[in-house]
Amino acid sequence: QVLIHDLNSLSASIGLDEWWSSRDWIQYGLAVSTMAHPRLVFSLASVITSILGESKKCLVLDFDNTLWGGVIGEVGVNGIELGPDSSRGKAFIEFQLTIKDLVSRGVLIAGCTKNAMENALSGLNHPNSILKPEDFAVIEASWDPKPVAIKRIIETLNIGSRSLVFVDDSKIEVHAVKTEFPEIESVVLDSKFPEKYSSMILRPRYFETFKLTKEDISRKGTQATPRVKKLENASNYDHMQMLKDLNAVATIGRPTSDQLERVLQLVNKTNQFNLNGIRRTPTEIKRFAEDTNSLVLVGEFKDDLTNYGLTTVIGGQFDGGSFKVEIWVMSCRTFDRYLEHAMLLALQHEIATKSIKSFILDFKRTARNEYFVGTGAALGLFDKSIADGTCVVDVGMPVIPGELPMKVVFS
């Protein structure tokens, strides 16, 4: 059997000036320059890998800032960047077209997104979306750690973990997956440059195919029979230990005047982790920060991978023998990091010094704050079935899960 190794496309991508060297030809008899040898060898190795059946079989995709611009749970389906009206929107369309081509070649795609399923599907059903729900072999939309979700994907599709490529714009998510599954090729996308996404998954030639069968073509959009397959890395995932290893630091304190603009931005733009969805004016935020009858705490967060900056705010007013929490927001960038626990601990400490025995949450359900509802229930602040309205919480209630996976600094 004779197979063709396409050198024309390879030389075109490298450029003829680097592909050919008269010096290398005359001195060493090399038809390809030494500068181009690494790419040539890598390309040939990819073909051999494909012949041996070692090419990757499944692309696991994050959704927000990967398939479209923006966090759909925050901006809504009409607020995401996807389409011909902007350069970023066009870049995400191009990336989806690249993935669609992989699907047509028999590559399985799986969704792995920290989202409500409703939000995930609404993004795929966006009129400009190239990828539709039926293109996916499986979609994992939940707030579970991504290694846990990927384990379910592996078990559902019944494929080896070495067959996967995982892409995400979050360094922490990619780090978590690499920690639990070092055999999975994991790629960090830079959401500032979505135009580079396609080359980042195509250039490594993960999905090289030397022969396309009718079974490959018919595989797209079909879900394998759910059946547990022993994972190549079968250790129990320890999310808390992974977080501790990142040496995170949360700095919590009263906001400075320079931070008030960021506080206003968080309060008025955050939807998923938001106590009540109430928007505030600059005057209101300044009053909260300066009024002696009020208390506002802000949290900055960083770890070995990223400095996230100011990502969370909690605040309210003293009312007799109680404290009414009127603001509590947190950026989705620090979800699943236990920062809400640290903020609650700081708030409890601050109001307890004034002999306050309880605090009141001015809570209201909104169309987008289901994540806050789930988190509040997990913290024991209220029952998940709570309706709109305030609820009273005992200051001394145990909400901190033992040791937090971060160093907390009170400024």
Domain ranges of the chain: 1-54, 55-237, 249-410
Bigger pLDDT: 361 vs 398: 361
pLDDT digits (tens, 9 = 90+) for 70-129: 999 999 999 999 999 999 999 999 999 999 999 999 999 999 999 999 999 999 999 999
- Place 403 in a pLDDT band, splitting at 50, 70 and 90: confident
Q: Decide if pLDDT at 380 tops 90.
A: no
Task: Report residue 133 as tokens.
Answer: 């729900």
Please provide the distance, in angstroms rounded to a whole number, between the alpha carbons at the two ends of the chain: 71
Q: Among the listed ranges 17-31, 187-201, 210-224, which one has the minimum average pLDDT value?
A: 210-224
Task: Report residue 115 as tokens.
Answer: 């989202």
* Cβ 69 vs Cβ 82: under 8 Å: yes
Residue written as tokens 């506080």?
A: 263
- What integer pLDDT is reported at residue 390 of this predicted model? 72
As to burial, measured by CB atoms within 10 angstroms (0-12 exposed, 13-18 middle, 19+ buried), residue 125 is exposed
Q: Decide if pLDDT at 383 tops 70.
A: yes
- What integer pLDDT is reported at residue 227 of this predicted model? 32
* Cβ 315 vs Cβ 325: under 8 Å: yes
- Place 401 in a pLDDT band, splitting at 50, 70 and 90: low
- Say yes or no: do domains 55-237 and 249-410 share a fold: no
Bigger pLDDT: 67 vs 397: 67
Bigger pLDDT: 49 vs 297: 297
pLDDT digits (tens, 9 = 90+) for 28-46: 999 999 999 998 998 888 8
As to burial, measured by CB atoms within 10 angstroms (0-12 exposed, 13-18 middle, 19+ buried), residue 205 is middle
- What integer pLDDT is reported at residue 132 of this predicted model? 97
Q: Domain 249-410 belongs to what topology?
A: Aminopeptidase (3.40.630)
The stretch 270-297 carries a mean pLDDT of: 95
CA-nearest of 195, 67, 186, 190 to 119 is 67
Q: Decide if pLDDT at 2 tops 80.
A: no
* Cβ 307 vs Cβ 345: under 8 Å: no
Q: Mean pLDDT of all residues in the chain?
A: 90
- What integer pLDDT is reported at residue 294 of this predicted model? 96
**Percent of the chain clearing pLDDT 90 (strictly above):** 74
CATH classification of 55-237, choosing from 3.40.718.10, 3.40.50.150, 3.40.50.1000, 3.20.20.70? 3.40.50.1000
Q: How far is CA 117 from CA 112, 351, 372, in A?
A: 11, 38, 16
The stretch 324-333 carries a mean pLDDT of: 96
- What integer pLDDT is reported at residue 229 of this predicted model? 33
The stretch 323-327 carries a mean pLDDT of: 95
Q: Among the listed ranges 125-139, 305-319, 333-347, 375-389, which one has the minimum average pLDDT value?
A: 375-389
CA-nearest of 135, 107, 136, 111 to 206 is 107
Question: Full-prediction pTM beyond 0.95?
Answer: no
Q: Decide if pLDDT at 222 tops 80.
A: no
The stretch 215-225 carries a mean pLDDT of: 49
- Place 385 in a pLDDT band, splitting at 50, 70 and 90: confident
